[in-house]
Chains A and B, each alone.
Chain A
């Protein structure tokens, strides 16, 4: 049986780990609430934009724009959205796994590059041949998590649109964690470019006779980039909420584990303590007998 001091040290070390994990859980819970608010805040904007876009394009053939023409797919860009920090369960590795799977199966034989948003993905892909090279990397791809604003995400979105428009890439796919609830995140693969034709809602108030200012084509051309920026921003927000949800769950489990471990060790410690007391008494009694 391990000696008393050793067990005591282990108990102390486990309880300090427990303090850290439970603090991290609390912080994640607070951040999760903030991230969820941000998702809720942007929903009306995204919905309205989608509604107008589908209203306008319902009466217009929109397969002509620079962002919606389908080309033969030679170069594929996978945007791998992970977090900068770890300790959040399978959150990052799920995305990285999916990206690798896509590169090896669906886009096998194509020229695949990976754009990493978040340090974890950068680390995973920097030693492979998939990592993005050269000057095409958006400046904010790493720092976007420091302060996630629409403006920062717009810069990345504009970079992606530029790469598509100039023909560097023929297809761009976002891979990210979609937020279901604090415990469940779903890895999503979402086509970013070329633009998928917006779903036409049958019951949309297309009966209203809108005046289009200056004209429909111009509005569509202006709105598609907006909708792309919104799509990326939404993916980033979703990923952020998922990250905090995943970390909260992971830390909760870690705290529970530590608690179990601590209880077990306390039992062992008390047994060892009692055994040592029994031994001492035995020695005293034996000594007294020997003297008598």
Chain B
């Protein structure tokens, strides 16, 4: 699935990923390929991305995530 992480100042990540773990307001949750459409708010924490077996991590202060058509868009702060 496609992932984009956007902040007001730059586009920090864009690409194909296998899984993404997000710090949702009600606790961590993971998104896999083919997830149903979703809108959720995020709290401060780490976003963990798994792509081809390697892991990446970004720290955010909060944000919103939208999932639609196998595309994940994270608006981070």
Given contacts A211-B37, A219-B64, contact A226 B77 (CB under 8 A): yes
- Of B7, B10, B37, the residue contacting A209 (CB under 8 A) is B37
* With A211-B36, A213-B24: A44-B6 Cβ-Cβ less than 8 Å: yes
| Nearest opposing residue in chain B for A233, CB measure | B8
Query: Given that A208-B37, A213-B39 are contacting pairs, would A52 and B7 also be in contact in the complex, using a CB cutoff of 8 Å?
Result: no
Closest B residue to A49 by CB, please name it: B75
A45 at the A/B interface (Cβ < 8 Å)? yes
* B8 & A222 in contact (Cβ 8 Å cutoff): no
Q: Given A48-B66, A49-B64, verify A212-B9 contact (CB < 8 Å).
A: no
Contacting residues, chain A, for B10 (C-beta < 8 A): 41
Query: Measured between C-beta atoms, what is the minimum distance from A31 to chain B in Å?
Result: 17
Q: Which residue of A lies closest to B76 (CB)?
A: A45
Complex interface: chain A residues within 8 A of B29 (CB): 213
Q: Decide yes or no: A222 and B9 within 8 Å by CB, A45-B75, A211-B37, A213-B38 being known contacts.
A: no
Residues of B within 8 A of A41 (CB): 8-11
Contact with B64, one of A150, A208, A226 (Cβ below 8 angstroms):
A226
Q: Please tell me the number of chain B residues within 8 Å of chain A, measured between CB atoms.
A: 25
Contact assessment for A38 and B9 in the assembled complex, using a CB-CB cutoff below 8 Å: yes
Is the CB of B25 closer than 8 A to any CB of chain A? yes
Interface residues of A in 119-152 (CB under 8 A from B): 149-150
Alpha-carbon separation in the docked complex, A70 to B15 (Å): 43
Neighbouring A residues of B26 by C-beta, 8 Å: 213-214
Is A105 positioned at the interface, with any CB of B under 8 Å from its CB? no
Q: Which residue of A lies closest to B25 (CB)?
A: A214
Q: Are B77 and A150 within 8 A (Cβ)?
A: yes
CB closest chain-B residue, reference A149: B9
Query: Which residues of A11-65 are within 8 A (CB) of B?
Result: 38, 41-42, 44-46, 48-49, 52, 55-56
In the assembled complex, A200 has its CB within 8 A of some CB on chain B = no
Q: A208-B68, A213-B24 are in contact. Are A219 and B41 (CB under 8 A)?
A: yes
Q: Which residue of B lies closest to A37 (CB)?
A: B10
In the bound complex, what is the Cα–Cα distance between A150 and B75 (angstroms)?
13
Give the residues from 206 to 225 in chain A that come closer than 8 angstroms, CB to CB, to chain B: 208-214, 218-219, 222-223
- B residues in contact with A44, CB < 8 Å: 6, 11
* CB closest chain-B residue, reference A42: B8
Which residues of A line the B interface, CB within 8 A?
38, 41-42, 44-46, 48-49, 52, 55-56, 149-150, 205, 208-214, 218-219, 222-223, 226, 229-230, 233
12 CB-based A-B contacts, threshold 8 Å: A38-B9, A41-B10, A41-B11, A149-B9, A213-B26, A213-B41, A218-B41, A219-B41, A222-B62, A222-B64, A223-B41, A226-B77
